[in-house]
Every structure is written in C-alpha cells, then in structure tokens.
C-alpha cells in the first residue's frame, strides 16, 4: 500500500499499480485491475525475468522494489506524495494527490517497460489521450490525468507504453496527477521533480514515525509498522480512519461476501484508540474521536438510532450498489460500492463510543456542552434499548437477535457513563445507570452462558460459539482468570481454531452463501485474552500464528483462507493491525 493520508494505492510485486483511488479513499478507482483485468493499471518493471524483493524505506510507507536481472539491477521507488514539507502531525493534511515512480539502474544495464492504462470510475471510462510536452494528458469523465514522463510514449487507444534502457546510475522519473475535469486551471504539462518529492515524502513519514512510535516491548517492529498503517488509513483532513483501503476483496474466492470497507465504523473506536495510544499519540486519538463525535451527533431522544458507520467526510448515506461491469477478484462477484450496513441497528456502538470517550476524557475533560449532551444521550439510549435485538458486531443480514457482544457493549456504555459522570455533569443519572448496568450483568451471566456449550456463546439461548465472547475480559466485564472466561477461551481455542492456529469468528449459519476464512483480528483477540488469563506461552504462540500471515512488507489482510493459507478479504485491514498492537501490548503488560 501507498498512502498520502487521504487516499491509497496498491502495488503488486511486479511493479503494477492495480488499485488507486484519488482524491479520497472512497473515490471511484482510477486503476482497478485488482477487481477486473480490464479496469486499469500502471506497470513499471524490467522487460526480462527478474528476482524480486521489496521493502518499505525505514520509517516510511515509501515502497522500494528491487529487480535483479541477468544483466543488471533495477530499483523502483513508489510513493503517494505528501504535501511539500509536511511533517509530524500535519502529515497528509495538504497532500496534492500525486503518484511518484522512480526507476534507477544501480548495476549493469536493464531494459524496462512501462504500460499506463488509466480507467477512471472503476473501468467505465476509457479516456482520450493527448501527448503534450513532458508527458501525456488523459481526459474522460470527471478527471483529467496528467502523466509526467521524460521519454516518448506510444499511444494506442487508451493505453500508453514505453521501453527504456537504463545503464548504471541512470534513472527514469514518472509522476501521475489527477485533477478535476472541470477545474479552471489547465493540467500541468511539465515534469515534476520526482526525486526531490520522494525525498521529501520519505522525510515526512520519518518525522511522523520518530515523533509517534514510542512503543517498547515485544514485536516492536510489527507494532511500529501497524502504527504507520493506521496513520496511512487515516483521512487526515477529518481524522477518520477507514476499515481498509479496498472494496469487494472477498471473504472466500468466488463467494458473495464482498463488501466496501472504505468507511469508518464506530464499532472500531475504542480498540482503535487503545492502539493509537500504544503506537501513535494523543493527537491522533483526539482527532479520531472528534471526527466520530461530530459525524454521529444526532438527537437520540427523538427515537433515532446511532448510525454505525460514516464516510470519511462524515457522510451518512452510504447506499450500496453493485458494479456489474466488473468480474471481481478471481471472479468473486458482485463488486460493491457503498455499504448498506449503515442502515442496520447495532446497539453495541453506544458502548464503543462511550468507552472511547472514557479513554480520552475521564481524567482530563472538560467537554463542551453539546458533546456532554450528546454523550449523555448515548448513555440514555443504551439504557433504553439494551433489551432489543439487533444485527450484531458481524453485521448479519437477517432478523435481529440478542447477541452477547451487543449486550456486553451496552454494559460497557453504562459502566463508562458512570465513570464519566463528573465530566458529563450527570451526577443525577448515576443511580439509574448503575441499576441498568447490574441488570445487563445479570442477563449476560444467566442468559449468555450456555452449560451445554461450556462457554459464553454468540447469542442468548444459543449454543453457537463466537470469538466476540473473548472481549468479556478485554472490556473489564470479568477478570481474565475467571473460570467461565477461561472455559470460553478454551472453547474458542478448541472449536473455532483451525490447524494453523487461526480463529474463525463463528461457525453458525448467517444467511449468506459460501464459507469464509479465519479472522486475523479474532486470533489476536485470542492472544489478548490468553495474556489476560495469565497464559503467556499460548498467548505468544497465538500472536505469532496471526502475525506470520503478514505479507512481505508487513501488511495484514482481514482473513486467511483455511485451505490454502492465502490472505483474503479487504486489504490492508485496520482491525487486523489494531488487534496486533493491542495484543502485543497486553502480552507485554502481562509479562508473558
């Protein structure tokens, strides 16, 4: 992944940009070969077979790919440019939306090829291409794309190609800028100083890493990389963090569990803030919470539900539609944009929002009057609705049920509201919140525990296991060494875990066709819960089992295919990296 903290690109190991959305994470893709062979790409690689290795330049998300050919070695450096002199907390705030590519022959002689095939709007547009001084302009739809290139490009239709031979010490610099097709200013027609902008982008990322990544403990490198990934998935102008950079990468090859994850979920909030506290700093925490508080603010006393997810600009209508012209990743259709889960009722979100507020403001405060009023409304709504069914954490698209996790997070809402009462100016409500908290506790202990299953289960009255029950000790409902918690952890480890040691979120029918892989987040949850139970060795093993499925540059997908071990699902997945950070910290604190 490349990121300018506003948008993202994905680059394959053979130097092809197969995914690029500009100017926002949720913009229509300019390159989408990830989802269809004909939906656009931009390759830069040697014309001959090569041995390939990749890495991020230290402390950055600037990608370096090394191609070792028989006649020489080519190094390709790729970056989404940060704005000039962006450093520290301003990282990504003024990014211009430019993809930079620099190919350097460091040894011998290498002939490279570049093929540039932009297809805006997920492949719907085949733009008209016009050679100009210093490059190429492509027009069509809502975009003008300006490619800066110091070599002639052969244009055929909506595809441009070039072949260049470089000798040791020579480099080829390319840049792509997207702008509105209706902007009053003409597109740039002269090359960028690509080498200088890459150096400045490297400096920007390193300044952020130096100022933010202070974690010391086991798996420092993995925690540091995960912190950078969370920053890379942040839409800097608002502080929103997207769940992933992609849409419609399936949970099983050929299946229909293909969702758009380029949005922000409230359910991720409290765990995200914990991860940011460990791997970043309070500025990112405050910005993320401030975004969610503004985006979700509504008159809850008027009977409204708290919406569960938002666009990166705070948008609420995320209506879902299919793109039938795309075949999907390995034929996994439909390809979807938007996500109709925004319409669902999920009563867990009240707890996640109040837990986040508690992490930030219990000991600091003060809160402005509107935020205090809103958070009191969140607590009152949780108290009023905790007995209602909902769609649950996993967004099951079917009838509502009484999910254990949803009740647990309503307990969290009451518990954190009590703790926040002095900051909220709500002392008169504490007795009622405490009473409701105890009622929820009793319901979970009596109806959430299933004697036949020997564990806390997915829903009241159900025998089905769910990895979400691992959160009972993680939110402080019960201690990690409580016998029922240990029994639940043992049951998940025995009955939801595959031969690789990875955890399924559940095995119950959920109304959707096809299977799904194991969830890396749930495996990190297992490691976290084991650490809280005092099982240091098993916790470390579960952590290693999950972390070993990062790719060659340390990025984690959502899931792993149980039959092949291949990463699947949207990529890279923020929740997987959040789970890694929090599990590493839990193991460190436990001394495991």
Does residue 146 sit in the same domain as residue 287? no
Q: What is the CATH number of the domain that holds 264?
A: 1.50.10.10
334 cis-preceded (ω within 30 degrees of 0): yes
- 78 & 170 share domain: yes
Q: 157 and 243: one domain?
A: no
How many angstroms separate the Cα of 524 from the Cα of each of 132, 146, 287, 291, 471?
52, 43, 26, 27, 11
Does 536 sit behind a cis peptide bond, omega within 30 degrees of 0 on the bond before it? no
If 0-12 CB within 10 Å is exposed, 13-18 middle and 19+ buried, where does residue 81 land? Answer: buried
Bigger pLDDT: 41 vs 287: 41
- Same domain for 499 and 397? yes
Residue 273: φ, ψ to 5°: -65, -40
pLDDT over 60 at 391, yes or no: yes
Q: Are residues 198 and 236 in the same domain?
A: no
Q: Is the pLDDT of residue 483 over 60?
A: yes
* pLDDT value of position 81: 94
CA distance 451 to 46: 62
Taking residues 474-486, report their average pLDDT. Answer: 96
What is the extent of the structural domain holding 165?
2-207
Return the pLDDT at 278.
80
Q: What is the mean pLDDT of the chain?
A: 91
- How would residue 395 be classed by pLDDT, with cut points 50, 70 and 90? confident
What integer is the mean pLDDT of 464-469? 96
What single-letter DSSP state applies at residue 445? I
Residues 348 and 223 in one domain: yes
Retrieve residue 378's tokens. Answer: 């969140």
Band of pLDDT at residue 117, cut at 50, 70 and 90: very high
**Residues 262 and 358 occupy one common structural domain:** yes
| Per-residue pLDDT reduced to its tens digit, 562-582 | 889 999 999 999 999 999 999
- 250 and 160, same domain (yes or no): no
CATH code of 93's domain: 2.70.98.10
Last residue of a domain, one of 207, 222, 249: 207
Residues 6+ apart with CB under 8 A from 509: none
Quickly state the pLDDT bin for 92 (edges 50, 70, 90): low
Question: Could you say which of 207, 237, 260 is where a domain stops?
Answer: 207
- Please check the confidence at residue 185 and state whether its pLDDT lies above 90: no
Same domain assignment for residues 160 and 278:
no
Tens of pLDDT, residue by residue over 277-301, are 787 666 777 788 888 888 877 766 5
User: Are 372 and 348 members of one domain?
Assistant: yes
- Domain final residue pick, 181, 207, 233: 207
Q: Identify any residues that bridge with 370 across adjacent strands, giving them in sequence order.
A: none
Are residues 191 and 340 part of one domain? no
Q: What's the CA dihedral at 219, 220, 224, 230 to 10 degrees?
A: 40
Q: Total domain count for the chain?
A: 2
For residue 325, pLDDT over 90 is answered with: yes
pLDDT (0 to 100) of residue 63? 98
Kindly tell me if the per-residue pLDDT of 302 is higher than 60: no
Same domain, 201 and 220: no
Summarize the confidence of residues 364-377 as an average pLDDT.
84
Q: Which residue has the higher pLDDT, 304 or 531?
A: 531
Mean pLDDT throughout 157-170?
A: 96
């Amino acid at each position: 992944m490349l990121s300018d903290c506003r948008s993202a690109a994905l680059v394959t190991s053979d130097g092809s940009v197969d995914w690029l959305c500009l100017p926002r994470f949720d913009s229509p893709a300019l390159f989408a070969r990830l989802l269809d062979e004909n939906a656009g790409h931009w390759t830069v690689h040697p014309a001959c077979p090569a041995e390939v290795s990749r890495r991020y330049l230290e402390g950055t998300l600037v990608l370096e790919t090394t191609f070792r050919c028989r006649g020489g070695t080519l190094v390709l450096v790729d970056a989404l440019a940060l704005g000039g002199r962006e450093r520290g907390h301003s990282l990504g705030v003024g990014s211009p939306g430019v993809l930079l590519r620099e190919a350097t022959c460091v040894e011998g002689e290498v002939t490279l090829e570049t093929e540039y095939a932009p297809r805006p709007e997920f492949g719907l547009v085949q733009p008209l291409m016009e050679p100009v001084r210093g490059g190429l302009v492509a027009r069509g739809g809502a975009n003008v794309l300006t490619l800066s290139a110091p070599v002639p490009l052969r244009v055929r239709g909506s595809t441009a190609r070039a072949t260049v031979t470089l000798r040791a010490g020579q480099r080829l610099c390319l840049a792509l800028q997207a702008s509105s097709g209706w902007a009053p200013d003409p597109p740039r027609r002269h090359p960028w100083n690509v080498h200088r902008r890459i150096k400045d982008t490297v400096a920007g990322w390193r300044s952020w890493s130096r100022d933010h990544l202070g974690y010391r403990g086991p798996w420092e490198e993995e925690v540091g990389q995960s912190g950078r990934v969370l920053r890379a998935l942040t839409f800097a102008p608002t502080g929103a963090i997207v769940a992933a950079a992609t849409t419609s990468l399936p949970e099983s090859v050929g299946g229909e569990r293909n969702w758009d994850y380029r949005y922000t979920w409230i359910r991720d909030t409290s765990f995200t803030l914990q991860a940011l506290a460990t791997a970043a700093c309070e500025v990112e925490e405050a910005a993320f919470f401030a975004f969610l508080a503004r985006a979700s603010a509504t008159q809850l006393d008027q009977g409204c539900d708290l919406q569960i997810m938002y666009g990166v600009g705070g948008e609420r209508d995320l209506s879902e539609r299919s793109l039938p012209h795309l075949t999907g990743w390995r034929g996994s259709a439909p390809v979807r944009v938007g996500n109709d889960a925004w319409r669902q009722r999920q009563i867990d979100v009240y707890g996640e929002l109040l837990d986040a507020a508690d992490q930030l403001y219990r000991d600091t405060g003060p809160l402005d009057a509107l935020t205090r009023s809103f958070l009191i409304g969140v607590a009152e709504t949780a108290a009023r609705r905790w007995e209602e069914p909902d769609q649950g954490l996993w967004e099951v698209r079917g009838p509502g049920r009484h999910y254990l996790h949803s009740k647990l997070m309503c307990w969290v809402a009451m518990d954190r509201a009590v703790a926040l009462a002095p900051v909220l100016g709500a002392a008169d409500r504490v007795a009622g919140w405490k009473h409701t908290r105890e009622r929820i506790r009793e319901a979970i202990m009596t109806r959430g525990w299933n004697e036949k299953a020997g564990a806390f289960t997915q829903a009241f009255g159900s025998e089905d296991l769910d990895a979400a029950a691992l959160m009972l000790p993680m939110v402080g409902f019960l201690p990690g060494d409580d016998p029922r918690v240990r029994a639940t952890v043992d049951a998940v480890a025995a009955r939801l875990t595959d031969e690789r040691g990875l955890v399924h979120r559940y095995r119950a029918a959920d109304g959707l066709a096809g299977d799904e892989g194991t969830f890396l987040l749930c495996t990190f949850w297992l490691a976290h819960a084991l650490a809280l139970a005092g099982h240091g060795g098993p916790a470390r093993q579960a952590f290693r089992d999950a972390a070993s499925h990062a790719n060659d540059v340390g990025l984690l997908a959502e899931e792993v295919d149980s039959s092949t071990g291949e990463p699947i699902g949207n990529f890279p997945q923020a929740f997987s990296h959040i789970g890694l950070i929090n599990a590493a910290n839990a193991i460190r604190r436990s001394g495991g």
